[in-house]
Structure 1
């Protein structure tokens, strides 16, 4: 009904009799559907499970503005325990008790009297007919209102509990577990590395994949707080106006490495074909994926990959999460033993993953205060919440800065470069929305506009014929997206293949 109110506020003329029929319509429609499941031996388990699930969905929708469409269900299924635990707090616990556990207990204890089969069926049939009559009466008087209001506020149907999240869950299960698997398709088997090693040094590129970082909180993009203090003198390029492929990691991460663009991306198809990482592997590029987040979602399955042990470093890890500095230590070990060949190292950081933003940076990096030291972020002030999030951005900037320093130290052995790009953004209370995962068609720019940074050593630019002055102009012009990453990675690593599309390679425009 918050969504209904938003729709009302957008209209000049409002028929409040029509608005008053909306709860009646929902009661009639849901009662009709629920009557199909109010059967002996079925009713109690069905409604108990439904109530418990709906309780959690309701809280996420009400407090954070989360919509449980297919993408969010996919994200939920792929969330690990540590991630899920961050949403547990007194507010979510109290909600679950009042709208989930207690009602479920009352259902369990209810003394339901079932009639003999024939009478039960007749009674149910009459009840369903009455519900349909109620719907029909509303339709006779307000059909056009429903059509018009629904068309102008399509997101309403996505917030009806429990129909929408149940439908999305059924769709996810059908696609991922019931449909016949798609035959795997290899891409870029013709890929060749064409790097000119005239100076005898191979290329070494580190790609830092960010988590939940939004463009508007980066000083590089005009933000009025020093969130890029660590890298501001290192010569990074900031590519403006970059859009994500999705609004959740489960979608954005595989999508950004996929040959498919956002418009035609389909997760089932993506899992059944090679990614950019695989094409680089075909070309003989040395590859490593180091992960301090929730895994690579299948992108790195065919190359060497390490998920950081959450108990590996008592100073940087607490058993459930590690600060991203742990990746720097792992990177050091990799650089000590790296082969003298063209290499791409991917660091998947935990970045600004919420709602426990305060757990993403150590006390020494708690620069913006007062901050929000709790997970029920909706109960923090706007200033506290923003400061906490900005601390995560500043800490990520520190990680990126250290990566650049480590690459610079490799200049005697490698021509080095670094790219940083986030998987999606984040809402921090704007328009009543928190976190991420909104359907892309309705998602605000807070969730879809992401930072995209690049650093290139002079020797890398020279040996790979990159005109940095030209690239700076391209970065300033902007207008990029995750759709550019596949070809830009291939182009940056000088990989030739039939799957490479030059017009999508950002760096091809400035290659001399």
Structure 2
């Protein structure tokens, strides 16, 4: 047995085939189509007609996808770029295939932006032991084979025509394969445009280029100043300064929010705090990188333009123009540019032993030392608390043991191995903890009512899928995202002297709202006058006294 093993190893060491770059591009295309597009084939199979016609459609699509990938690689690959380029492609294609299969996600520009802006904590939550055989088979083995292969270098006179002929052949294959299925393919791609986000490596190639170009444009120019005319009228004699806290939730969906009528009471503390609950609120995006800049932007979802949103100041800058102190406190992966130009505190650096473990902190850390910040501010102040919230898949790490009330729980990041009720239990425990943190923030505001007029607004940045239709987490393209990822909870709480008729606001809360209302509502509650303010979008405009 040992002799056979040694002989096999010796033969492998001697094995080093010589391959042309054109043939290598074909092998890479077949590798991607056969092994890295499982989510695509599964989705197409659901959309295709049944029987032989359906299998013919899938076969034709296999030739189309493979041929198009071959054309792309034939343009990019040469004797110098082949190995490094294909090594990167193998890694990204294998990783994309794993996460698409595991969580049912799509790879678009928003997902690519999430990947580029993620931190080590979020990456760690996504790792699982089942990645080891996947990485070995989909990445390590292809890398070894790529390393063993020798790139042939024939004289130019013998091969100059072969690459163009191969590309023409691939074009011909694409045309021949598309023609008989065009009547089914065209309406399918028109009705289900998101399918293109499943085609690997085209999906992440386009997404990375899109994000890279956008980031380059935004980073190389100053942000457009808005609301430079913002003013805050002087306070009346005896009027107290305003303290407004905006709590930005993370990954909390409205379906599991107790105040919305959920079967479980996941908001027991807020239910006793006389908050105004908004049951019909729509998010601007399905991921933090999209929603966070959008919800604080004057453009919002109704005038969505990613370039303008990222290249324009946020409502926090407008508040600061008016003379308010604005403070962003973060327990997440950053403000995504929203807090640029205002004061920022990264709370994980506090290393509070009671609230922090390793490089993560529970959301109560956002309140640590807040009393001193308020006491040290003379005028009006706006504080934004950016939560870790229910960020998945490690829901079980988002709350202290005291909030593990719904059991059994799913104490792993590999959600697909847990029963759905256990996933929901874990998620609901995290919702309970968010309820506690927001209620504790309200209690803090009550404690300073002798010196301040106070207000609080809580809203989640986006929702979450917990296994419905095989989907987990979030970031599904907005046009096809399920309601669980777009319908989010929102509550407001205001002190009696905040100048808002609460009965009137309760009536307004019964009507639909969205992230688009946040920009103008914050300006309205703060009493800031500016040309960019739109009273029709201010949730409190008709209720202020």
TM-score (norm 2): 0.89
Q: Give the CA deviation at 1:13.
A: 6.8
SS of structure 1 residue aligned to 2:160: helix
Counterpart pick for 1:115 among 124, 131, 154: 154
- Give CA deviations for 1:216-260 in whole Å, capped at 9, x if unaligned: 110111111121012111101111211111111111111111111
**Structure 2 residues without counterparts, runs of 5 or longer:** 1-37
1:138 aligns with 2:138: no
* Alignment partners' CA distance in 2, 1:41 and 1:246: 41
Q: Please list, as runs of the form range in 1=range in 2, the aligned pairs for 1:106-185 lying within 5 A after superposition.
A: 106-177=145-216, 181-185=220-224
Cα offset for 1:401? 0.7
In the alignment, what sits opposite 1:484?
517
Aligned to 2:428: 390
CA gap of 1:141–1:267, structure 2 versus 1, over 3 A, is closer
Pick from 248, 269, 276: which aligns with 1:230?
269
CA–CA separation in structure 1 for the residues paired with 2:460 and 2:414: 24
Equivalent of 2:471 in 396, 419, 433: 433
SS of alignment partner, residue 379 of structure 2: coil
* Counterpart pick for 1:470 among 504, 508, 512: 504
Which residue in the other structure is 2:444 paired with? 406
Give distance in 2, aligned partners of 1:217 and 1:180: 38
- Please, which of 229, 249, 252 is the counterpart of residue 291 of structure 2? 252
Show the counterpart of 1:62.
Answer: 101
- Conservation of the 8 A alpha-carbon contact between 1:428 and 1:434: yes
User: Does the 8 A contact of 1:114 with 1:120 survive in 2?
Assistant: no
Query: In 1, distance between residues paired with 2:462 and 2:521?
Result: 19
**Is 1:370 matched with 2:428?**
no
Structure-1 residue corresponding to 2:389: 351
Partner of 2:328, secondary structure, is strand
> What is the CA-CA distance between 1:199 and the residue it aligns to?
4.0
TM superposition shift of 1:330: 3.0
Measured after TM superposition, the shift of residue 331 of structure 1 is 2.0
Taking a change above 3 Å as real, the CA distance of residues 267 and 152 of structure 1, as seen in their structure-2 partners, is closer
How many residues are treated as equivalent by the alignment? 506
- Which one has the largest radius of gyration? 2
Q: Aligned partners of 2:438 and 2:444: how far apart in 1?
A: 10
Q: Could you say which residue in structure 1 is the equivalent of 2:527?
A: 494
CA contact (8 A) 1:182 1:269 kept: no
Give 3-state SS (helix, strand or coil) of 2:63's partner.
Answer: helix
Is 1:265 paired with 2:304? Answer: yes
Q: Distance in 2 between matches of 1:412 and 1:219?
A: 31
Deviation of 1:123 after TM superposition, in Å, equals 2.5
1:510 aligns with 2:540: no
C-alpha distance in 2 between matches for 1:32 and 1:3: 19
Q: Greater CA deviation, 150-159 or 195-204?
A: 195-204
Q: Which has the higher contact order (CA 8 A, sep 6+)?
A: 1
Structure 1 residue 58: deviation in Å?
1.1
Is contact 1:195–1:494 with CA below 8 Å preserved after alignment? no
Q: 1:215 — aligned with what?
A: 254
What are the superposed Cα offsets for residues 414-450 of structure 1, whole Å, 9 maximum, x if unpaired? 1111110111111111111111111111111111111
> Could you report, residue by residue, the CA deviation over 1:134-180 in whole angstroms, capped at 9, with x for unpaired residues?
22222332222221222232221110000111011012112222688
**What SS does the corresponding residue of 1:90 show, helix, strand or coil?**
coil
Q: C-alpha separation between the residues in 2 aligned to 1:227 and 1:180? A: 41
1:193 aligns with 2:232: yes
SS of residue in 2 equivalent to 1:503: helix
* Consecutive unaligned residues in structure 1, runs of 5 or more: none
Q: 2:98 and 2:349 mapped to 1: Cα distance?
A: 29
**Residues 311, 413 of structure 1: alpha-carbon distance in 2 compared, 3 angstrom cutoff:** closer
SS state of the match for residue 417, structure 1? strand
Give the distance between the partners of 1:486 and 1:99, measured in 2 at CA.
Answer: 46
Assess, with a 3 A threshold, how the Cα gap between structure 1 residues 4 and 51 changes in structure 2: closer, same or farther.
closer
What is the CA-CA distance between 1:496 and the residue it aligns to?
0.7
Aligned ranges for residues 57-96 of structure 1 at < 5 Å?
57-96=96-135
Match of 2:367 in 1: 328
> Residue deviations 1:353-411, cap 9 Å, x none?
11111111111111111111111112111011111111111100000010011111111
- Alignment map for 1:413-428 (pairs within 5 Å): 413-428=451-466
3-state SS of 1:495 partner: coil
**Take 2:337 and 2:175, find their aligned partners in 1: how far apart are those partners?**
48
Please say which of residues 269-278 and 241-250 is displaced more in the overlay: 269-278
Hey, what's the Cα distance between the residues in 2 that align with 1:95 and 1:292?
32
With 247-256 and 137-146 compared, the bigger mean Cα shift is at 137-146
SS in 1 for 2:540: helix
What does residue range 44-55 of structure 1 map to in structure 2 within 5 Å?
44-55=83-94
The residue aligned with 1:302 is: 341
Q: Where does residue 102 of structure 1 map in the other structure? A: 141
CA distance in 1, matches of 2:218, 2:327: 32
**Residue of 323, 342, 346 corresponding to 1:284:** 323
Q: Which residue number in structure 1 is paired with residue 491 of structure 2?
A: 453
* Change in CA separation of 1:133 and 1:339 when aligned onto 2, cut-off 3 Å: closer
CA shift for structure 1 position 451? 0.7
- TM-score, scaled to structure 1: 0.94
